[in-house]
Amino acid sequence: MGFGSSMILGTCIGSMADKYGRKRFAYLYVTLYIISCLTKHNRTIPLLSIGRLTGGAATSLLMSVFESWVVCEYHKIEPQENKSTGFGSLQQTFSLASLLNFVVAVVSGVVAEGIVDRFPYNEDPLISNSDWFYGKYTAPFDLAIICLGFGGWLISVLWNENYGENC
């Protein structure tokens, strides 16, 4: 279901971000992924399906909006004569991003395993026979919500809005 929503939205999400603003769509990524993380606390199929749909849509945004924003900002800032050979070339930027992506993935896996072991499984104490629970395998998603919130704050502080036609 998540791959399906990513497949459908992936065909148009980039052009929508170009038209309406990449910063705005980065916020949408953060929001959709937080919703996806929150649905992991429920065991009902309809709510879990919503989580898969929002996660798939967020993945489409992740794979298009952030890199497009970097390329656009690079073309605004970097002088024409230094674009291919300058210290801050796009090639170096994306090479570093790829390397850090692997490092963050490994560290995230280790941290997630530690969090799962640290927080026991619990059902919602306020509602008997509840479909809501927390702890154990949902704890890494709670940490992801905190990281996404921090990332959204960084976007609001550090990013300029850019559009496809202005690059």
Average pLDDT over residues 137-157: 95
**pLDDT: is 78 or 48 the higher one?**
48
**pLDDT tens digits, one per residue of 108-133:** 999 999 999 998 877 765 566 677 78
Full-prediction pTM beyond 0.75? yes
Question: What is the spatial distance between Cα 162 and Cα 167, in angstroms, rounded to a whole number?
Answer: 8
State the angle between helix axes of 65-77 and 90-118 in degrees (0 to 180), rounded to the nearest 10: 140
**pLDDT: is 141 or 131 the higher one?**
141
**pLDDT tens digits, one per residue of 26-75:** 999 999 999 999 999 988 899 999 999 999 999 999 988 999 998 888 88
